[in-house]
């Protein structure tokens, strides 16, 4: 079972962020090798914080040594090689990690892409969820694999491919 907690700061538009985050996280996990987490007896917890550019800037500087805000940060709590064994927890709960989005960066990027902030945030939450599951995009092969999973999850949400026209294979 998934438990998605939303922490909503001022500045974000008034939409149902809880429902959006739950749909985005569920779609990402369902399109990963960890799809069983969705209906597991164990509870898999993810916190999604929608905050300011300033807070994300501080986090990006502190944890990534990058002195600027970014659209999304992910803070995994379980190493990828340990994810398979997480259903056997002592208390039945697994904290997968935190996803943090910057309102201003997200809004500017959405406007630049000609899409709603909700659709862009859904993509960023999907992206962040894959990071919590151990995916990365530091090398081309990993980036392509992660993007292909994102494209499938977003299609499940009725959202277009954010990376352009590309064959993703099945």
In a domain? residue 15:
yes
Q: How many domains does the chain have?
A: 1
pTM for the full predicted model: 0.92
Residues sharing a CB contact under 8 Å with residue 45, sequence separation 6 or more, in sequence order: 2, 3, 4, 5, 93, 94, 95, 96
Whole-angstrom CA distances from 51 to 64, 99, 102, 121, 131 are 18, 11, 5, 12, 19
In a domain? residue 68:
yes
The CATH code of the domain that includes 142 is 3.40.390.30
131 assigned to a ligand binding site: yes
Q: What whole-number distance in Å separates Cα of residue 110 and Cα of residue 103? A: 10
Tell me the pLDDT of the chain (170 aa) as tens digits.
999 999 999 999 999 999 999 999 999 999 999 999 999 888 999 999 999 999 999 999 999 999 999 999 999 998 887 877 766 666 778 899 999 999 999 999 999 999 999 999 999 999 999 999 999 888 888 889 999 999 999 999 999 999 875 554 44
In a domain? residue 165:
no
19: left (phi over 0), alpha (psi -120 to 50) or beta: alpha
123 assigned to a ligand binding site: no
In a domain? residue 164:
no
In a domain? residue 169:
no
Host domain of residue 52: 2-157
31 assigned to a ligand binding site: no
In a domain? residue 71:
yes
In a domain? residue 136:
yes
């Amino acid at each position: 079972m998934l438990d998605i907690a939303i922490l909503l700061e001022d500045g974000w538009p008034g939409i149902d962020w809880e429902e959006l985050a739950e749909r985005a996280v569920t779609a990402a996990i369902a399109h990963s090798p960890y799809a069983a987490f969705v209906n597991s007896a164990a509870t898999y917890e993810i916190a999604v914080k929608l905050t300011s550019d300033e807070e994300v800037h501080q986090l990006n500087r502190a944890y990534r040594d990058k002195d600027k805000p970014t659209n999304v940060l992910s803070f995994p709590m379980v190493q990828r090689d340990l994810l398979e064994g997480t259903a056997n927890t002592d208390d039945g709960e697994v904290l997968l990690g935190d996803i943090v989005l910057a309102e201003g960066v997200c809004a500017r990027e959405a406007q630049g892409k000609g899409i709603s902030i909700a659709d862009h945030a859904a993509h960023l939450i999907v992206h962040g969820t894959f990071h919590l599951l151990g995916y990365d995009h530091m090398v081309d092969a990993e980036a392509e694999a992660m993007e292909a999973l994102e494209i499938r999850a977003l299609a499940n949400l009725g959202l277009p491919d954010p990376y352009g026209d590309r064959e993703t294979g099945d």
